[in-house]
Amino acid sequence: MALYWREILPQHPGATAIIEVKCSQALEDEIRRLGGAPLYYKAGHSLIKAKMKEIDALFAGELSGHMFFADEFYGFDDSFYAAGRLLRILSNDSRSLSEMLVDYPVYYSTAEVRVDCPDEKKFEVIETIKEKALKDHEAITIDGVRILYKEGWGLVRASNTQPVLVTRCEGKTKEALDAITKDMKQRMLDVGISDFEWTY
C-alpha cells in the first residue's frame, strides 16, 4: 500500500488516506511523511468501499490484500488493476522493488490470531476491554480497540463473520512486541477469554 500512496499523495497533497485498523503503524507513518491525512477505519471490504464513497477518498487497502483505487479507477477492488498499477510504478523507476522499499521501516508483528468467543458475548467483551484500556492508554476505537503503546500497538476486535475475536500486535522492536503481546493476552484473559498462543 505504501508504494501506491507514494504515487498518489504527491499528486493530491493533504488527501485523506483510509487505513484499515489492522494495518501497520509503518503505513500511517509513511502517509504522514507524504503529507496525507491518515484515517483509521473498520475492517471489511464493503465497509471500506462505503467509507471511500462517503468521503471521496482516492485509495484504500486492507491487510487481506484488497486494494481500492478511485483516483484513476472506479473505487472497487480489482486484483488485475492493482497489479497493473504496481507494474506501472515499477516500470517508471530504475530501482528494484526491494530498493524502492529500503527506507520503509521494519516493525515486528504477530499474525492475525482468531480466538473463540460466542457471538452473543464478543461485543460485550470488546466493550469491557475498551473501557479498561482507556483508563491508562490512548486507543483507536473505530473497530474494536487498538491500544496504543509507546513502541507499538495491540488490537482486539469482534469478527464480522465468525464467533471469534481477532487480535494482532505490532512493536517497533522485538522486545516491544513481546511486552505488548503479554499485556494484550492478559487483558483478554482478564475478561474470561480462553488462553491462546500468538503466531508470527
Contact residues for 150 (Cβ-Cβ < 8 A; gap 6+): 176
**Over the chain, what is the mean pLDDT?**
97
Concatenated DSSP letters of the chain: -HHHHHHHGGGSTT-EEEEETTS-HHHHHHHHHTT-EEEEE-SSHHHHHHHHHHHT-SEEE-TTS-EEE-SSS-SSB-HHHHHHHHHHHHHT-SS-HHHHTTTS---EEPPPEEEE--HHHHHHHHHHHHHHHTTTSEEE-SSSEEEEETTEEEEEEE-SSSSEEEEEEEESSHHHHHHHHHHHHHHHHTTTPPP-----
Asked if CATH classification 3.30.310.50 holds for the domain at 108-189, the reply, yes or no, is yes
Per-residue pLDDT, 96: 96
Per-residue pLDDT, 102: 96
> What is the Cα–Cα distance from 145 to 130, expressed in whole angstroms?
6
CA-based radius of gyration for the chain:
18
Which of 127, 120, 111 lies closest to 166 in space, CA to CA? 111
Which of 142, 138, 164 lies closest to 152 in space, CA to CA? 138
The residues spanned by each domain of the chain are 2-100, 108-189
Per-residue pLDDT, 189: 98
Cα end-to-end span (Å), the chain: 21
Q: Are 90 and 3 in contact (CB under 8 A)?
A: no
Task: Write the pLDDT tens digit of every residue in 55-91.
Answer: 999 999 999 999 999 999 999 999 999 999 999 999 9
Per-residue pLDDT, 155: 99
Q: What is 2-100's CATH number, 3.30.750.24, 3.40.50.300, 3.20.20.70, 3.40.120.10?
A: 3.40.120.10
Task: Write the pLDDT tens digit of every residue in 20-38.
Answer: 999 999 999 999 999 999 9
Residue 53: C-alpha distances to residues 6, 48, 116 (Å): 21, 9, 33
Per-residue pLDDT, 33: 96
Q: Taking CA 22 as the corner, what is the angle to CA 21 and CA 23, rounded to the nearest 5 degrees?
A: 95
Per-residue pLDDT, 172: 98
Q: Are 49 and 57 in contact (CB under 8 A)?
A: no
Confidence at 92, pLDDT banded by 50, 70, 90? very high
* pTM (predicted TM-score): 0.93
Per-residue pLDDT, 34: 97
Task: Write the pLDDT tens digit of every residue in 110-152.
Answer: 999 999 999 999 999 999 999 999 999 999 999 999 999 999 9
